[in-house]
Amino acid sequence: MTDSTEPENRLFDWYRTYIGEPDARTDVYLGFGLFFGGIALGVLALVLFFWGSLAEPRTDPYFARIGPAYTLGMLSLPMAMIGIVTLLPVERKARYAAAAGGVVNLAAVVWFNVAYPADWNGYGADRTMQVVSVYATGLTVVVGATGAALVAHQLAQATPDPGDIEAVDEDDEETISEEQIEQDIESAMEGVDMSWGGVEKHEGRQISFTTDTDIDASAFDVEAETDRSVGVDSQVQGLRQMKSGEKKTATSESTVDDQTAKLNELREQQRRKGSESNDAGEPGFLDRLRGKIGLN
C-alpha cells in the first residue's frame, strides 16, 4: 500500500464501518472534508477566543482576535452538520435543505463581519439582534435536515434487505399410497372383535330364537345375505364417518330385513294372544284342559 492510497483506503474503511457501502467517491471525500473541517474550525475558534480574552477589552488586539473567533465558531457547527448529511445515503431533499440552511448561515456570518465591532452589542446601529436571528434560522434548517438524515439512516439499517432474508424451505407434502392405508387399517383392526348391539359374534348364517308358544318357523329358515365393503376407498370413507360422527341411513332389501319384520309380527301375535287369554279368564283354561285330554 503506497502513501497516496492510504488516506483513501482509510476513509473508505471508516465509511464502510460506520455507514455502509459508499455510493460515490465524491460523497465520501466531500462529507469527511466538511465534517473534519468544521471540527477544525471549532477548535481554532476556541483557541482564538481564549487568546483574545487575554487582551484589554475593546482594543485593537482584542477585536483582531475575537472577531475571527466569532466568525470561525459560527461557520464550524453548520459545516460539520452539512458534512454528516453529505456522508449519509439519504434523499437529495435532505441535502438541498442542509445546503440552503448553510447559505443562510454564511449570509449571517458576512453580515456579522460588516457590523462588528462598530454596530455590535449596543454600539452604533446595533445589528446584533438581526444577525443572530438570521443565523438561528439557517442553523435550525441545517439541524433539522441532519436529524432527518440520521433517522432515515437508522431506519434503513434496521430494515433488512430482501437478499438478507432467508427463504424458508417448505417441506414436501407427504404422499400416502392406498397400500399403506390398507396396512394401517388392518393393523388397527387386528385383534378387534366387533359386535352388533351387544350380540356375540357367531360364525353361522342362521338366526335362532326361543319362545313359549308353538309356532311354525319354517318360513324363517332362510339364509342371510352377506354384504361386504370392497376396496380401500369405501373402508376409508367408513372410518371418516365414524370419526366425524356422520350418520349414514340406508335401507337394506336383504332377507335380514324380512326376518326382522316377521319377528315383529310374531311378537305382535303373542301380545294379542296374551291379551285374549287375560280377557277370557277361566273358560280359556278349561278349553286348554279339554284339548289336552282330547274332549274337544
The tens digit of pLDDT for each residue in 254-295 reads 566 677 778 888 888 878 876 666 555 545 566 666 666 665
Q: Between 33 and 277, whose confidence is greater? A: 33
pLDDT class for 119, splitting at 50, 70, 90? confident
Q: Between 275 and 155, whose confidence is greater? A: 155
Place of cell 319354517: 218
Residue type, 79: M
Counting every residue, how long is the chain? 296
pLDDT-wise least confident of 29-33, 44-48, 170-174 = 170-174
Contact 80, 34 (CB under 8 A): yes
C-alpha–C-alpha distance, residues 76 and 69, integer Å: 11
- Average pLDDT on 21-48 reads 89
- Average pLDDT on 230-246 reads 66
pLDDT-wise least confident of 14-23, 224-233, 255-264 = 224-233
Give the chain's mean pLDDT.
76
Vertex 224: Cα angle to 219 and 227 (nearest 5): 155
User: What contacts 232, CB < 8 A, 6 or more positions away?
Assistant: 178, 181, 182, 185
The pTM assigned to this predicted structure is 0.51
Backbone angles phi, psi at 252, to 5 degrees: -90, 140
Tell me the pLDDT tens digit for each residue of 68-92.
999 999 999 999 999 999 988 888 8
First to last CA, the chain: 140
Distances (CA, A) of 274 to 57, 134, 209, 281: 141, 122, 19, 11
What does DSSP assign to residue 199?
Answer: B
Task: Answer whether residue 182 shows pLDDT above 90.
Answer: no
Contact 127, 119 (CB under 8 A): yes
